[in-house]
């Protein structure tokens, strides 16, 4: 029934996770890498975490993914307290700055790897890896080795691997900063298309103001582990919350 409605309206299924983060902190000795960070992320929202190097962006993402345990605070995903759950129990896909593909595995095996980790059988793995490669427009590339692909294609393989088990939340840590300008713009469109098609929630880390403004529904500006401003992308120009936000956004021009 739902499928029929979707086919008629062309709208994606509502699949995105809802995130509630409260009082989140990560301290390394006396350094407060993340300090009292709180945010509610809506289902299907595209949120950019924007800030200079060292502002705590990656640390927040690693805590959302479960690779770092917070010093304090709580992370609820769809109302479930995930603060101390391991990554594989969170239904999250993740893409890093460097493609981190396994060089000795074919593209298809790279994409299917998360399924293997979850005990999915070989035939099913093959089918779903081929599906995911289709979604990122790399149909027919499964038998190649990563070294035979361009930078943009490798990053698309990393995307396919992140969505292969149909996560409801996609976390991306500066996924495009290693690419040249043309590829980066192409991949920005590709990621927006995927977000629209899959209806999943996206948290996208970047230090590039232009990238955050063109891609995100809302932008969270960070400095020294603290949230400076959280606004719809276009309001960042019109109503910067403080001098830091105004200066940081102003650097674009």
Site of interaction with ligand ADP (CB under 6 A): 28, 31, 33, 51, 53-59
Nearer to ligand ADP, 36 or 131 (CB): 36
Nearer to ligand ADP, 15 or 226 (CB): 226
User: Which listed option, Mg ion, ligand ADP, none, makes contact with residue 188 (CB within 5 to 8 Å by class)?
Assistant: none
Q: How far is the CB of 150 from Mg ion (least distance, A)?
A: 24
Tokens (6 digits) for 179: 């690419």
Residue 58 binds to Mg ion (criterion: CB under 5 A): yes
Q: How far is the CB of 55 from Mg ion (least distance, A)?
A: 8
Q: How far is the CB of 237 from ligand ADP (least distance, A)?
A: 22
Q: Which residues contact 219 (CB under 8 A, 6 or more apart)?
A: 47, 48, 50, 212, 213, 229, 230, 231, 232, 233, 236
Q: How far is the CB of 56 from ligand ADP (least distance, A)?
A: 4
Question: Nearest 10 degrees: CA dihedral of 129, 152, 193, 217?
Answer: 120
Nearer to ligand ADP, 8 or 53 (CB): 53
Q: Are 29 and 39 in contact (CB under 8 A)?
A: no
Contacts with Mg ion by CB under 5 A lie at 58
């Amino acid at each position: 029934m739902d499928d029929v409605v979707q086919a008629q309206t062309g709208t994606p299924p509502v699949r995105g996770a809802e995130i509630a983060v409260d009082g989140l902190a990560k301290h390394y000795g006396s350094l407060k890498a993340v300090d009292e960070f709180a945010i509610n992320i809506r289902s299907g929202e595209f949120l950019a975490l924007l800030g200079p190097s060292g502002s705590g962006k990656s640390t927040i993402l690693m805590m959302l993914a479960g690779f770092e345990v917070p010093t304090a605070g709580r992370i609820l995903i769809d109302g479930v307290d995930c603060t101390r759950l391991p990554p594989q129990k969170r239904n999250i896909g993740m893409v890093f700055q460097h493609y981190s593909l396994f060089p000795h595995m074919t593209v298809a095996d790279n994409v299917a790897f998360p399924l293997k980790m979850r005990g999915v059988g070989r035939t099913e793995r093959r089918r779903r890896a081929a599906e995911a490669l289709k979604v990122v427009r790399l149909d027919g590339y499964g038998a190649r080795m990563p070294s035979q692909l361009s930078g943009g294609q490798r990053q698309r393989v990393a995307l396919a691997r992140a969505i292969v088990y149909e996560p409801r939340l996609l976390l991306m840590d500066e996924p495009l900063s290693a690419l040249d300008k043309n590829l980066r713009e192409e991949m920005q469109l590709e990621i927006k298309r995927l977000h629209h098609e899959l209806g999943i929630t996206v948290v996208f880390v970047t230090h590039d103001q232009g990238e955050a403004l063109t891609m995100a529904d809302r932008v969270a500006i960070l400095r020294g582990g603290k949230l400076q401003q959280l606004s719809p992308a276009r309001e960042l120009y019109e109503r910067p919350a403080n001098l830091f936000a105004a200066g940081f956004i102003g650097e674009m021009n």
